[in-house]
């Protein structure tokens, strides 16, 4: 592994631009659950286990219609948790790195807003699954709005929200602007605008012939969106991937190296 770390350091040093791609493993060292498998999810939410719901079952927009108290217990608890969470030192290491380079962008499947909280520019982040810090309506096309004013109190013994946020336009139940499973109502406007900025970043890298390194942190194989983005971009822009992952670290050696460590330890090793 020391050879992989050496190679990663060298590629990061040589790069003009950095593309950070992050999955759930990025939050683990800040103390966030990664919902790995049903057991990981139920460990974080024992009451949901007793209700018999899996993560996929819970992360479904149907609950906002059929049981908004349950839906908002789940999302309200996560909103409170992510608000309280302090991003770990790995975010600082990445910030120092991108400040020393001419260009960067972040691609994340995390809805927790931790990159913004760590001080990265909102303009430099693509949240492919949306953000818990933004709201939309379950029924009308009200423009996406900030969740800053939303405060949810939860009775954890029965796992029920004590209050339900309502849409400011139609007063029906509001929901987080997060892409859920089987979600045909997700408002992708904000995410699409971020995606346009990501495309502009890639074009700039290409036009200015910048040497690009991709640092991928904690992106699993179960929902491989982030891994695909790393690999696709590596092929598209002839970039090198540093894949930091304690379990799913395999990568074609022609495009990158795997660092068999958790997020923070991996970032400390390569930066």
Residues at the interface with Zn ion (CB under 5 A): 137, 140, 142, 167, 169-170
Distance, CA of 182 to CA of 232 (rounded, Å) = 25
Nearer to Zn ion, 47 or 142 (CB): 142
Q: How far is the CB of 143 from Zn ion (least distance, A)?
A: 10
User: Helix (H, G, I), strand (E, B), or coil: what is residue 18?
Assistant: strand
Nearer to Zn ion, 167 or 217 (CB): 167
Is residue 164 packed enough to be buried (19+ CB in 10 Å), middle (13-18) or exposed (0-12)?
Answer: middle
Q: How far is the CB of 173 from Zn ion (least distance, A)?
A: 9
* Ramachandran area for residue 240 (φ above 0: left; ψ -120 to 50: alpha; else beta): beta
CA distances from 189 to 11, 91, 131, 173, 180 (A): 35, 27, 12, 20, 15
Nearer to Zn ion, 50 or 189 (CB): 189
Distance, CA of 176 to CA of 160 (rounded, Å) = 17
Q: How far is the CB of 8 from Zn ion (least distance, A)?
A: 47
Nearer to Zn ion, 12 or 170 (CB): 170
Distance, CA of 80 to CA of 142 (rounded, Å) = 24
Q: How far is the CB of 73 from Zn ion (least distance, A)?
A: 21
Q: How far is the CB of 141 from Zn ion (least distance, A)?
A: 8
Nearer to Zn ion, 34 or 172 (CB): 172
CA distances from 169 to 62, 94, 131, 182, 204 (A): 21, 40, 20, 25, 39
Nearer to Zn ion, 23 or 130 (CB): 130
Q: How far is the CB of 249 from Zn ion (least distance, A)?
A: 44
């Amino acid at each position: 592994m020391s050879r992989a770390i050496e190679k990663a350091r060298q590629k990061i040093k040589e790069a003009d631009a950095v593309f950070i791609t992050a999955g759930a493993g990025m939050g683990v060292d800040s103390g966030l659950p990664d919902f790995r498998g049903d057991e990981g999810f139920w460990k974080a939410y024992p009451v949901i286990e007793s209700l018999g719901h899996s993560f996929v079952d819970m992360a479904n927009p149907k609950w906002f219609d059929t049981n908004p108290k349950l839906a908002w217990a789940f999302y309200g608890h996560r909103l409170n948790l992510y608000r309280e969470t302090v991003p770990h030192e790995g975010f600082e290491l990445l910030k120092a790195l991108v400040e020393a380079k001419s260009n960067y962008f972040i691609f994340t499947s995390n809805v927790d807003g931790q990159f913004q909280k760590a001080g990265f520019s909102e303009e430099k982040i693509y949240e492919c699954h949306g953000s818990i810090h933004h709201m939309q309506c379950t029924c009308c096309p009200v423009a996406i709005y900030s969740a800053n004013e939303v405060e949810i109190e939860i009775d954890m013994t029965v796992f029920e929200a004590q209050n339900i946020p309502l849409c400011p336009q139609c007063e029906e139940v509001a929901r987080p602007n997060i892409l859920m499973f089987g979600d045909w109502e997700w408002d992708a406007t904000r995410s699409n605008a971020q995606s346009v900025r990501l495309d502009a970043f890639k074009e700039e890298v290409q036009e200015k012939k910048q040497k690009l390194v991709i640092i991928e942190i904690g992106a699993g194989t179960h929902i491989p969106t982030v891994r695909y983005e790393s690999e696709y971009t590596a092929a598209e822009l002839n970039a090198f991937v540093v894949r930091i992952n304690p379990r799913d670290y395999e990568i074609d050696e022609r495009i990158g190296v795997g660092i068999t460590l958790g997020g923070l330890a991996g970032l400390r090793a390569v930066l």
